[in-house]
Amino acid sequence: MAHNDPVNDLAPLLTPEGRALLDEVRDTDPAHELAVATRLRREHPAALVSAALGQARLRQRAVAKFGERDAARMFFTPNGVEQSTRASVAAYRAERFRELGVTSVADLCCGIGGDAIALARAGIRVLAVDRDPLTAAAARANADALGLAGLIEVREADVTEVDTAGYDAVFADPARRGGRGRIFDPEAYSPPLSWAVGAARTAPRGAALKVAPGIPHEAVPGDAEAEWISDGGDVKEAVLWFGTGREGGVRATLLPGPHTLLSRGLPDPAVRPPGRYLYEPDGAVIRSHLVAEAAAALDGGLIDATIAYVTADEYRPTPFATAYEITDRLSFHVKKLKALLRERGVGTLTVKKRGSAVEPEELRRKVLPRPNGSASVTVFLTRVAGAPTMLLGHPVR
């Protein structure tokens, strides 16, 4: 193997000496890294010490996605940490595959193996393919480290040249970043979305294609079901499913849960004056254009035809939106708001906006320059039937 082969970046860490060193530097505080490196270089090759400390840093970053137990054993590349699927999302998707009766999946553009791991843990046999040597090496090391090598075969290859005929289903996660950052045109993905859709349509038991959550609805093929997934309130991805029996359908799924909202083709909710409660739909509900379905379950309407805030007179608990009890409605006026906050002894102000050009941080500085009260308030900068409005309230506990 040539000395400059990128796989060499990982290979030394897979030796007994490398693994022991990884254990030793596991909890290194970045502030003490230089001192630790200096001490370790007296006993180990400098390149190995650098590689181990670099891997320790990546593992620390990966805890948020993979949890402490897995992150401490896995191997990462900088791109792998950044672009891999969060474990909770991968586990949810693997469960959907299992429910479709899938027993084997060709995971194309597998990255460091986050999805392959979740699929294998659901009892599904996986062919994991990536063309980057270092990434494929990380995926192989991860399957081994987590005891899943018997279910995951890693292949370093161009996904467009791989025969997936022996597999029930296809999962593809085309690269959506280029030299200039994020790629928004699905045909500029690598490989292009049209290629991935073609591969999906040949899979006997279905397929899932991971796409950017900002994908335009008109770019979704008519024979796919589009799903937007959020985790802990943050929209993580969109997935195009084939073979689910809901062709042309849309769903929003919220984790943890899962809580799933299905499209029913409802018309836009009616616009009505703000009631006692304001609901802020989850980002996955908004991205999937299912605000009407969420509003119907709340017996609610919109405060403005162009804004995704739902209002209702009665409180109904829902996983699909955060509920606020509204105490005041004011036309937009900074001085009035400042006086009201002072009068009520507000010390903590949360500013949310939709349909307003005002910057929340700027407003907070103007109306609460020296917070010293004990009360907390949420102010919504928005429009009510077209008019700039401030709605004050607090989350329903």
The residue type of 139 is A
pLDDT band at 2 (very low <50, low <70, confident <90, very high): very low
pLDDT band at 6 (very low <50, low <70, confident <90, very high): very low
Rounded to 10 degrees, the C-alpha dihedral 162/166/171/175 comes to 0
Query: Is omega for the bond preceding 256 within 30 degrees of 0, making it cis?
Result: yes
Q: Is the distance from CB of 239 to CB of 227 less than 8 angstroms?
A: yes
The mean pLDDT of 211-235, rounded to a whole number, is 96
Portion of the chain with pLDDT greater than 90, in percent: 90
Distances (CA, A) of 274 to 45, 266, 270, 384: 67, 21, 12, 8
CA distance 36 to 33: 5
- Structure pTM? 0.92
More confident site: 176 or 260: 260
Q: How many residues does the chain have?
A: 397
Phi, psi of 11 (to 5 degrees): -50, -45
DSSP codes joined into one string, 276-317: SEEEEE-HHHHHTT-HHHHHHHHT-EESSTTS--EEESS---
DSSP 374: S
Q: Per residue in 184-195, pLDDT tens?
A: 888 888 899 999
Q: How many helices (H) and strands (E) does the chain have?
A: 12, 18
**What are 71's two structure tokens?**
């992150």
CA distance 227 to 250: 6
The mean pLDDT of 233-240, rounded to a whole number, is 96
C-alpha radius of gyration, the chain, whole number: 25
Q: Per residue in 285-316, pLDDT tens?
A: 999 999 999 999 999 999 999 999 999 999 99
pLDDT for position 183: 79
pLDDT band at 182 (very low <50, low <70, confident <90, very high): confident
Q: Is the distance from CB of 85 to CB of 237 less than 8 angstroms?
A: yes
Q: Is the distance from CB of 382 to CB of 391 less than 8 angstroms?
A: yes
What residue has token string 């494929």? Answer: 136
The mean pLDDT of 53-60, rounded to a whole number, is 94
pLDDT band at 329 (very low <50, low <70, confident <90, very high): very high
- Asked if residue 4 has pLDDT above 80, the reply is no
Contacts of 19 (CB under 8 A, 6+ apart): 13
pLDDT for position 188: 82
